Amino acid sequence: MKELNRIQNPYQDDKVIDACSIFGAMDTSGKRFSGRGVIRGIANMHDRGNGLGGGFAVYGLYPGYADLYACHIMYLSQKGKQDVEAFLKDTFHLIHTEEVPSQPTPAIVNPPLVWRYFLEVGQQKPEGQADDDYVVERVMEINTRFPDAFVFSSGKDMAVFKGVGYPEEIAEYFCLEQYEGYLWTAHGRFPTNTRGWWGGAHPFSILDWTVVHNGEISSYGINRRYLEQFGYQCTMQTDTEVVAYAIDLLMRKHTLPIDIVARVLAPPLWDEIERRPPEEQKLLRTLRQVYGSLLLNGPFTVIIAHHGEMIGLTDRIRLRPLTAGVKDSMIYLSSEESAIRLICPDLDEAWIPSGGEPIIGSLSTPLQPRPGAVTATASDSPGESQEYPAIKSITITS
């Protein structure tokens, strides 16, 4: 065994660059469900992490405050908390505040203070500015101006819970089994180039956009410089942060659809572009010219989520794994099929998406069956063979 290890790893380098686990589950009917299955699924990939980061994003969990911005903030000191709360009172209408419930968990050591604030944009906002833009500016201001505070979640009727630990330990610490949502994403981290710290765990979020990521963004420097031109401040000391801000810029501010965004982040290779039809060539060349600085270089698989959609995307040559599965109105995305099968053993279908092609679960778009999709029997129509008739709102693009 030692000899085999010497041959396979002659420099005894124990850095693992293909790890990290990601998982997503969405009920496309909008029905809220407990996170127990998601926690089991991500815990099944325990050996892809090392305990230096875990986290979850949950959508639809604050129905009583659905129209308010829910800011989750970490504090390293009481003074930091006092300063930020004074800032929030000056810049927002503060509706409700409370400490995020947690419980003693043996593996969680020296956690920061974590509070949540339900905010309404008031008359402090400049005339003509969109509410979302105002919130983004204030989040960036807190994260650069207050050294002992960090806003890590800022969307409506959704929240991120993350920290240093395995994901199942973070779930236990934040009592996540008590929450329900219609969309959950999860991450188990194996940091490759950055230290493990609470703010650096996944998901990364701005407004209701969240990203969990397996891989390494070697274009981080140029991506960051491009995004800073639009007011984004990268303060989280990890490459994945640029993906969340790029998604916010492209999809919210520039209103590009996800199939175009996928061609920005993971475009075809130049020789492939030259083989496309003329009109498609023109589009792809234009995207490379306008958004070339947002191309994500390096291996990656991401699950992107926001209200109403969950999107899976890999790099164009698929250097990181992603499996998709559907069952009735549920869609699952995972680093490993075994994690999906653990909580849903009788999938209607499971498949490996093509590189650079987004897989989309949606509340609003009717199912477009994949080419070659197998025939399934509808759960609400026993004996009637159809193309996933119980899935009323998933778009599958591949």
Q: How many CB atoms lie within 10 A of CB 293?
A: 15
20 is catalytic: yes
95 φ, ψ (degrees, to nearest 5) = -85, -45
What is the side-by-side strand order in the sheet with 113-120? 93-99, 113-120, 69-75, 149-153
Give the number of residues written for the chain.
Answer: 398
Query: DSSP letter string over 69-111?
Result: EEEEEEESSHHHHHHHHHHHHHHSEEEEEEEPP----TT--SP
In sequence order, the β-bridge partners of residue 363 are none
* Closest to 324 in 3D by CA, of 20, 69, 23: 23
- Are 84 and 142 contacting, i.e. CB atoms less than 8 angstroms apart? yes
Cα separations in angstroms, 299 against 8, 265, 295: 22, 12, 12
Q: Which two tokens stand for residue 133?
A: 């833009």
* Closest to 242 in 3D by CA, of 204, 197, 286, 277: 204
HSE of 295 in the Cβ direction (CA atoms, 13 Å)?
A: 16
Cβ-based neighbours of 398, under 8 Å, separated by 6 or more: 351, 353, 354, 357, 359, 370, 371
Q: How many CB atoms lie within 10 A of CB 340?
A: 27
Token pair 């050294």 is found at 147
215 φ, ψ (degrees, to nearest 5) = 145, -155
Distance CA 241, CA 217 (A): 10
286 φ, ψ (degrees, to nearest 5) = -65, -45
Q: Beta 330-334 vs 349-351: how paired, if at all? A: unpaired
Cβ-based neighbours of 336, under 8 Å, separated by 6 or more: 21, 44, 45, 48, 321, 323
Which residues form the catalytic set? 20
